[in-house]
Amino acid sequence: MDAVATRAFESLCSDGVAFHPALLDEARCRQLLDAVGWARDHPTASYRCLSPSGEARLESDLFRWRDVPAIRDLVTDEALLQFARAYLGTDDPVVLEDQWFWSERGSRTDSPWHQDDPYHPLDRPFLTIWIPLTPVPPGLGLRGVVGSHDGPIYAPVEFSAGERTLTGSAWATTPVPDVDAHPDEYVVTDSARDAGDAVLLDSRTLHSAGGECASDFVRLSIRYAHPETTRSPRPWPTASFWESYEWETGERLPATGFPRSSVLAATAAAR
């Protein structure tokens, strides 16, 4: 790692959230923006419109490494993998998920305080790397609560006002605290401003984003897991895509849906 990456990694380890400026250059952001535009026009079964019907749209889709070369190249890029390897403690991280978000001008992108961890029936934390592909509109950057990765796991929240993203029935666990109502109790970071900046998050870190978009706003989240990650059922709703996989408690992530980064890199090199 260079000095900038080292500082980001050290912050990630201590705080559970870190900022890396200009992780991707302008040309790469333009390439990925075009790729997400194509993916938006060719949605998969994981596509969701997260905004209320009739309003400016907030759209999202998952697992586009499977059919979008630019996204496949991104998830196997050393700029991202260096953090996944170091933070997860493995030479060959699993590509858990890629997810794009496209907020149209005038849409609200409210994402309440939450952790990524409870949406996944996994036995250990994972790493999220959030990258805006367009400039971040004022007030809409990803915010994280410093040190919250060392605290409790909170209840998942449904933040789609359109199609639901959670499955399951009633559950009981600790509700997410109202961070904004108690600013003296939390240290909150908010750093990413430009296309290509990156926010690194432990999956247990409380974070939020949102507000009304003055312009179209596009971003990607890439998630990596340790290859020995196994299924650990949750007593609460999890992300609906997990219903597509048949795997038993204690089994490792299915390789067909969650490949090791080295496998994807070899596939990309063979193209």
pLDDT in tens, 65-107: 999 999 999 999 999 999 999 999 999 999 999 999 999 999 8
Mean pLDDT in residue range 40-44: 97
* CATH number at 3-269: 2.60.120.620
Mean pLDDT in residue range 141-167: 75
pLDDT in tens, 110-150: 788 999 999 999 999 999 999 999 999 888 889 999 999 99
DSSP state string for 4-71:
HHHHHHHHHHHHSEEEETTSS-HHHHHHHHHHHHHHHHS--TT-EE-SPTTSSPEEEEE-GGGT-HHH
In angstroms, what CA-CA distances link 24 with 48, 89, 195?
26, 23, 8
Q: How far is CA 82 from the centre of its chain?
A: 17
- The helix/strand/coil state of 264 is helix
CB 121, CB 230: distance < 8 Å = no
- Spell out the domain ranges in the chain: 3-269
Share of the chain above pLDDT 70, in %: 92
In single-letter form, the type of residue at position 267 comes to T
